[in-house]
Structures are given as structure tokens and as C-alpha cells.
Amino acid sequence: MQPVRYADLLFQPDMLSARRDDGTVLRLTRQERALLLRLVRQPHRLVTRAQLLDGLGDLAGDLNERNIDYLVNRLRKRLGDSARAPRFIATQYGEGYVWIADPVFQDKASAFLLIGPVFGLGDQSEQLLPVLHDLAGRIESALGNDRPVLCLPDWRHDPKGNDDIAFALEASLLVEDETIHVAAMLRDGRSFSPIAPFRVTLSKPDDRMVELAAAAKAICQAIWSHAALPGNELVKPAQPPLHLRLHDAAMLLTGSPVSWRENALRLEQEHRDNPGDAVLSVMLALNRYAQLLQAPVTPGEEPIDDERWKAIEDEMERLALEALPKAQGDPIVLFGIAKVLRFIDRGYLQLAQRLTDEAFQTSTAFATAFAMKGQVAASLGEIDRALELYKRAIELAEPGSQFHIYLLVLKATALLAADRRGDVEQVATELYALDPSIRIKLGLFFVSPNARLLPPAIQSVMAALSPERARAALLQLYRVSARQFQHARHRKNILAGAVVHMVRQHGPDVLSPDVMKCFPDLARQASS
């Protein structure tokens, strides 16, 4: 975190000290710091004496609300502030206090979303600024994660600047009696290109809470739609496939790797509103794919049972086939349909191959095309061809991106199918360097069946799995990876490492019927 400036004071991120422009260092007491943090957290919004007392926590001791005025006045003096002409803390008589200072970014503004520039404030800024700050707070709450939202009305986009802004909300305001009209444009924070317009009418002050909440929700939805749904943007050779676009959009808003939950509700609503939209149908099918891929097998969460798994795949199949007639001529969507049809393993591999080849003829998304063609080739048993296609895709993908990681996992899976364990270890090492959490998620998948000792991190994962959880984990591995390979030898090679070590830990009952079919020797031993 960077220091933040308010007026002539540059505060350290922990708010324990500040430096004046003349070089004087101001060190705050724990009580002063607690009050300051509570006020700054809600700029331009009332903080009651009771809330300030709560903000002191254990530091309050025997203090009561009547002592808050004394503490605030002491803090004012430390900051060089005045109750009559406040720069930092204004008094709301009979209620509490308001932090009125805005942060000043001399070198760099940093935020997920910045409200600015704002036009039309004029001499009504005292009335309008609290509304804008309220909107900023509601957007930040709607995002529901550590995604800072700032309101800097005087900010201007500088193409040569070094601001770190993901999105900007440019706004123009008009006041008529008690009604505030807002015309806004959501823009990309780096290029300042327009994304979506908004028209918000705020009526009487008592009704604005609901209206501002609705506006915040609509802005968050527009950010998600821009990130998740394909539009008329230029398709680049390194553009990732649709299911990774969904994943990245969810990560953008929540930071959670369990991306399907964030996307599901938004996609379901969009699909209900536009039931004939082929793109939304395919995106919803890919969201269900992500749900199955991320199906929990860890303690405390319930795996997806067979009936539910089948129902989800039924829905994926229906959505993909319904979209197919309307998706002709849209290669990115055709790649998405091919992805779904290959995954569900219901006899559509030849159709997936045809759709992939057809889409490749007109697509400029070469990396996505190579990835999908590689998956089809791997399913057909053409492992060397698949590896060559993955190599081409990796050369195009942005290093370290989710797409790059995804392609390396595809490559490792193909190498597992071919039982090229040395090459698998090299790819696994590369993956662990890019994302250490992959060792926990997929480490057992990559381990050789001949290994006598497992790495400690993977052994701890094994130890945490009950026999039921281990059985679910193996079945999921079969469903999301091995079963898409037509040759029995390839399916067995993919599962071998995990199966051998799970059976060693829990016995042969850990194998479900589908997994057991890949290991006829184990099946004969179990039945004898």
C-alpha cells in the first residue's frame, strides 16, 4: 500500500504517522489512529458518536459517547484542523462527524474504479459530492471484495500518465429542484474507451438509497458483461477461449478462484432476459463446465453426486445444441460449443472436430484454435500432433496468464496419456513456478505411480482425504480429464499416478466403477 495525502499531510498506510509539507512528523496515539481510520473509511458520510466509540474497540475503556467530542477535538488539533473552518473533520451537530477531505494523488491514482472526471458540480458541490461518495461506497460494497473505488471529481485521464485505474466512471450532473440527473459513461481506465452509458435519476433524498444501490448494481453488471461476454472487439491471435474469459471476469470482480459461482447468477439472468441468444447459451454451458471442473472434493464441502452431475451435463448438451444453428459464422462461439461437446463425452467428438476445423478457417484467435484442435487430436489418440498444437498455442499466449497455465495443463495431460513421465515432471515444475497452489490442486495428478515417497505437500493432501473424498476425487479426475481420451491405454496412463497412491492409502474400494474399468487388473484382484 502507498502513503495517502490529505491536504498538507502525507499519511503512512497504517495511519500511525503523517508528515507535513515542512517535514514535521506527526505521530498519532492508538486512540487517534482508531478514530481516524473509522472516519476515513466513510468519507463524506456521517459517522455517529456511537460508531466512533465502537471503532475504538478495547481502546475505549470506560469512555462513553460524551467523551467522543473531546477525543475528536484533540485529533483536530493534532491535524491542524478547525471546527469552524474544517479541512478534515466537519461536525454534524447533534449526530456525529463527517470526514470531508479527499485524497490527493500527486504521482499516481490507484483504484479498481474511479468516479471522475465529474462535470456540472458548480456551486452545488457541497450538495452533490456526498451523493457521489455514497455511490462510490455502494459500488465498492456491491463488488464485495478488496476492489477499491475512489471518487476524484477533478481527475482527468492522461494517456501518458502512470495511473493504475481499471475502470473510470465519467459523470455529468444536473440539479432540478430536489432531483439530481446523472449522465455517466463507464470507461476503460487505461485507454479511456467507452464501455457502457448510464442515465440515473435521483429523486428526493429519502428515496436515494434504493436508487443509488440500483445504479451501483447496474455498473457492476456492466463491468462483468464487458469482461465476460464477447462483443464487437477485435479478436486477437492470443485471445483466450470463452470459458477462460468467464473465469477472468469472475476473478476481476471477486478475486476468488471459484469463478463459476460469481458468473452463474449473472449469466442465468442474462439468459432469461435473452433466451434466444446463442452466445449466452454457450456461455451458460461453459459456466456449468466450470462448475463441474471446480467441483469440491475437500473436507467441509459436498461433492456433486452422480445424479446432479448428469443433470448438469444434460443442461450443457441442450444449451450447446440449441445454440449451434445460430452460431454459424462466429468462430469463437463454435470453439465454445466444441469444447462443451467434447467434454460431456456423449458421442460428439466427430462433431466437435468438424466445428473446430470449420471455425479455424475464419478465426483470428489462433491460440484458442490451436488449443481446441489439440484437445480433439488428443482425444483421437494423436498425442504428438496434440503436443505440437499446444506448443503453437503456448507461443502465442501471454506468459504467466491463466490461458498459459491452462495450456500447460493440457500439455501435461497429453504427456501423461503418452506415459512420458520425465516430460510431465518438467511441465509440472513450470506450472508450480507460475502458480504454487497448483501443487496442491493437481500435484497428485502429476505424480508417477512408481514414486515411493510423495512430496510433503501432496502427502498432506492425501492424508486429509477420507476414503469417500478420495473416491470422489478420482471419479472427478476421470470425468474431467481421462474419459475424453478414446484409447483405454491413454485413460489408464492419465489416472495411474493418482490411482496407485489412493489405493495404497485407502484400498481398492476407493475406485468407482468408471475408474475401475480403466484398471482391469485391479478389478480382477478386487473380485477374486
Instruction: Find the CATH number of the domain harbouring 438.
Output: 1.25.40.10
User: Does any domain span residue 159?
Assistant: yes
Residues β-bridged to residue 197:
185
Domain boundary among 167, 188, 223: 223
pLDDT of residue 527: 47
Instruction: Tell me whether residue 485 is in a domain.
Output: no
Residues 85 and 165 placed together within one structural domain of the fold: no
Query: Half-sphere exposure (CA, 13 Å, Cβ side) for 74?
Result: 12
pLDDT attached to residue 232: 63
Question: What pLDDT is stored for residue 102 in this prediction?
Answer: 86
pLDDT digits (tens, 9 = 90+) for 494-507: 999 999 999 999 99
> Within 10 A of 70 (CB to CB), how many other CB atoms are there?
10
The grid coordinates of residue 116 equal 471522475
pLDDT band at 20 (very low <50, low <70, confident <90, very high): confident
Statement to judge: residues 277 and 406 lie in one domain: yes
Whether 20 and 167 map to the same domain: the answer is no
Q: Which amino acid is at 80?
A: G
Same domain, 269 and 404: yes
Q: Is residue 144 located within the same domain as residue 253?
A: no
What's the CATH code of the domain at 22? 1.10.10.10
pLDDT tens digit sequence for 180-204: 999 999 999 989 999 999 998 988 7
Q: How confident is the model at residue 528 (pLDDT cuts 50, 70, 90)?
A: very low
Look at residue 237 in the predicted model and tell me its pLDDT.
Answer: 81
In terms of domains, do 99 and 37 share one?
yes
- Is the residue at 434 inside a domain? yes
94: left (phi over 0), alpha (psi -120 to 50) or beta: left
Give the confidence band of 256 by pLDDT, cuts at 50, 70, 90. Answer: low
Per-residue confidence band for 2, with pLDDT thresholds at 50, 70 and 90: low
Other CB atoms within a 10 A radius of the CB of residue 227 amount to: 18
DSSP H helical segments within 198-348, as ranges? Answer: 208-228, 242-254, 259-273, 278-293, 306-323, 331-344
Q: Which residues on adjacent β-strands are paired with residue 196? A: 186
C-alpha cell at 427: 511441465
What CATH number does the domain containing 188 carry? Answer: 3.40.50.11830
Does 349 lie in the same domain as 415? Answer: yes
Does 12 reside within a domain?
yes
Confidence class for position 18, pLDDT limits 50, 70, 90: confident
Handedness of CA 463, 259, 251, 40 (dihedral sign): negative
Q: Where are the alpha helices (DSSP H) in 361-437?
A: 366-379, 383-396, 402-417, 421-434
Pairing state of beta strands 46-48 and 25-27? unpaired
Same domain, yes or no: 119 and 207: yes
Residue 96 and residue 109 share a domain: no
The total domain count for the chain is: 3
In this predicted structure, the answer to whether residue 55 has a pLDDT above a threshold of 70 is yes
Residue 474 lies in a domain: no
What is the per-residue pLDDT for 215? Answer: 94
CB environment 321-339: b (16+ within 10 A), e (fewer): bbbbeebeebbbbbbbbbb
Average pLDDT, whole number, for the chain? 88
Higher pLDDT, residue 122 or 70:
70
State how far the Cα of 71 lies from the Cα of 35, in Å rounded to an integer: 8
Question: What is the tens place of the pLDDT at every residue in 219-228?
Answer: 999 999 998 8
DSSP E strands: which ranges in 16-92? 17-20, 25-27, 46-48, 89-92
pLDDT at residue 297 above 60? no
pTM here is 0.73
Per-residue pLDDT tens digits for 61-94:
778 888 899 999 999 999 999 988 899 999 998 8
* Whether 23 and 114 share a structural domain: no
Angle in degrees, 0-180, between the axes of helices 49-56 and 65-79, rounded to the nearest 10: 80
Cell of 20: 507535513
State pLDDT tens for residues 133-166.
889 889 988 887 678 888 888 788 888 777 889 9
pLDDT of residue 522: 66
- Whether 210 and 253 share a structural domain: no
For 390-417, write each residue's pLDDT tens digit: 999 999 999 999 999 999 999 999 999 9
Please indicate, yes or no, if residue 271 is contained in any of the structural domains: yes
Residue ending a domain, among 167, 194, 223, is: 223
Please check whether residues 154 and 219 belong to one and the same domain: yes
Does residue 479 lie in a domain region?
A: no
pLDDT computed for residue 128 by the predictor: 85
pLDDT for 238 equals 77
Across the range 348-377, mean pLDDT stands at 95
Domain presence at residue 453: no
CB 114 within 8 A of CB 165: yes
Cell numbers standing for residue 82: 478547525
Write out the residue range of the structural domain in which residue 377 sits. 242-447
Point out the domain boundary residue: 447, 482, 506: 447
Of the chain, the end-to-end C-alpha distance in Å amounts to 64
Instruction: Evaluate if residue 235 carries a pLDDT over 70.
Output: no
Q: Are 151 and 136 in contact (CB under 8 A)?
A: yes
Residues 6+ apart with CB under 8 A from 357: 373
